[in-house]
Every structure is written in C-alpha cells, then in structure tokens.
C-alpha cells in the first residue's frame, strides 16, 4: 500500500528545490516580503510545488514518488515565475502611486488599485478631474511596461439618486478611465470596463464620509490566461509558459 508520508517528504523537498531554482538576480532589489520575511514568489512557488506533487502522484499511480517530484517542479516553477512578475509590478505601482491618493492592494496573484472619488471625478460627472490626470499618466506608463495583465476598470457610486442613474454614471466613469489609458498607449485589447453603481459599498451610505468612500474607481490587474510571463530586465530574456 502506498504511504502518504514519503509523498509529503518528496513534495517538501521538491518545493525547496523549486525555491532555490527560481532565484533571480533581482531577488534582493525590493522584492515584496510577507510578514514572515518570505517573499510572495517563494510562497507561491512552495504552495504550487506541493499542489503539483499531489497532482503528479495522482496521475502516475505506478510511480507516485517520481510523479510527485515532476509535478512539484513544474507547478512550483510556474507559480514562482508569475509571483516574481507580480512582485515587481506591485513594487513599481506602489512607487508610482505614492502620494497620489491611489491605494495599491495585493490579493493573491491579482493587484487592485483603488482610486477615491475626491481625486477622480466631480459630483455627478464623468469628466476626469484635473487632479486625476497625473495618477492616470503614471498608471499608463506602468501598464505599458508591465504589459502581461488584463486591466479591468470598475466604476462605483454612492446610493444617492436612482439606481439606474448611478449605474449609468459609474459605467461612464469607468469608460472615461479606460478610454484615457488607451489614448496614452495602453493596448485597448487588455482593457475592459463596467459600472457597478452603488453595489459593493465599502462604507455606509448613511453619512457623507461613507458616501465619499463609496464613490471610487477600481482597477483590477489579472494574469492573462495562457500568456508568457517574462522576467523583464533580465539580460538572458528567459520566458516561462503558463498553461
């Protein structure tokens, strides 16, 4: 009977080897760190390796140990590769968005930018506010440099007024952002827009402060399915393919 314990040992060893193999010359240059001091890249690589080990063992019933090692190495390397790409993009965005009022959040392999209403649009308007052009220009520059993500622009409003009016307004605001980014050279095929009006509030609409927080634009960056993620800046130009 096959024992689970050797599989765990093999998976762990494979995860460690994957972590070592995925080291890169930029590892100590601002790579995002978790609370434990481990980079997101290492976390994704290790977790991916463990998942790959289980999958590999399940596929190769006759040679589970070998299957676990192969699965761990393949999946772990892929996860670490994208994790490194997202680490660098997150770092660059935090630098370019500093002191602009735009908040950068990391959620797993996705990056979210939250743009508050006080810098984006005037009340009941879909015309880009003058204070919003500088952050948008910085975003456009970053999106052209890191061009292997989809860009979803989502507009939100507070609950004041009719729902239909707010849905239309949020859609126009999202479209205005998407159109401007495209006009600055960002590939329009990467950009999608939608308006959610008063849905998904982040604060109470019962007071002015809460309503102000709910009036916002969010930009969600997600990996392009099947895309090649290139470790930009490496002289070797190595490319990894993701299924």
Quick check: 191 and 181 in contact, CB under 8 A?
A: yes
For residue 171, give both structure tokens.
Answer: 């859609």
Task: Decide if pLDDT at 232 tops 50.
Answer: no
**Between these two residues, 108 and 60, which has the higher pLDDT value?**
108
> Residue 24 is encoded by which pair of tokens?
């890169």
pLDDT at 224 (0 to 100): 85
Of 26, 24, 46, the C-alpha closest to 34 is: 46
* CA atoms of 163 and 150, how far apart (whole Å): 28
Distances in Å between the alpha carbon of 5 and those of 69, 163, 184, 213?
Answer: 14, 57, 55, 50
Nearest-Å Rg of the Cα atoms of the chain is 22
Structure confidence by residue, pLDDT tens digits, 154-166: 999 999 999 999 9
CA distance 47 to 144: 30
Lowest mean pLDDT among 50-59, 76-85, 121-130, 173-182: 50-59
Quote the pLDDT of residue 139.
96
CA distances from 83 to 58, 110, 120, 139 (A): 25, 10, 30, 20
Check residue 117 and give its pLDDT: 94
Residue 167 is predicted with a pLDDT of 98
Each residue's pLDDT tens digit, 94-120? 999 999 999 999 988 899 999 999 999
Residues of the chain above pLDDT 70, percent:
59
The Cα 191–Cα 132 span in angstroms is 18
Instruction: Return the pLDDT at 214.
Output: 96
**What are the strands, taking DSSP E only, across 68-107?**
103-107
Q: What domains sit in the chain, N to C, each tagged with a CATH number?
A: 4-91 (no CATH), 97-228 (3.30.1330.60)
Is the pTM here over 0.85, yes or no? no
The average confidence (pLDDT) of the chain is 76
Classified as helix, coil or strand, 3 is: coil
* Mean pLDDT in residue range 191-213: 96
- 209 vs 6, residue with greater confidence: 209
| Cα–Cα distance for residue pair 115/10, rounded to 1 Å | 45
Query: What is the structure's pLDDT at 65?
Result: 55
* 76 in Cβ contact with 48 (< 8 Å): yes
Please report the sign of the dihedral spanned by the C-alpha atoms of residue 38, residue 40, residue 43, residue 45: negative
* Cα 34 to Cα 37: distance, rounded to the nearest angstrom: 5
Structural tokens at position 25: 């010359």
């Amino acid at each position: 009977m096959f024992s689970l314990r050797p599989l765990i040992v093999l998976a762990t060893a494979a995860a460690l080897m994957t972590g070592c193999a995925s080291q890169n010359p930029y590892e100590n240059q601002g790579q995002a760190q978790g609370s434990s001091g481990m980079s997101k890249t290492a976390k994704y690589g290790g977790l991916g390796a463990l998942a790959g080990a289980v999958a590999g063992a399940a596929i190769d019933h006759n040679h589970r140990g070998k299957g676990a090692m192969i699965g761990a190495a393949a999946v772990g390397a892929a996860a670490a590769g994208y994790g490194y790409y997202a680490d660098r993009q997150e770092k660059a965005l935090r630098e370019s968005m500093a002191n602009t009022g735009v908040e950068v959040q990391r959620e797993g392999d996705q990056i979210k930018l939250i743009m508050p209403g006080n810098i984006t649009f005037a009340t009941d308007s879909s015309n880009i506010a003058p204070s919003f052009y500088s952050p948008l220009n910085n975003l456009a520059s970053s999106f052209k440099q890191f061009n292997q993500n989809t860009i979803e622009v989502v507009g939100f409003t507070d609950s004041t007024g009719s729902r239909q009016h707010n849905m239309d307004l949020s859609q126009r605001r999202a479209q205005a952002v998407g159109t401007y980014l495209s006009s600055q050279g960002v590939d329009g095929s990467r950009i999608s827009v939608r308006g959610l009006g008063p849905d998904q509030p982040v604060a109470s609409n019962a007071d002015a402060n809460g309503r102000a927080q709910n009036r916002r634009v969010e930009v969600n960056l997600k990996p392009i399915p099947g895309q090649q993620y290139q470790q930009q800046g490496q002289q070797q130009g190595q490319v990894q393919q993701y299924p």
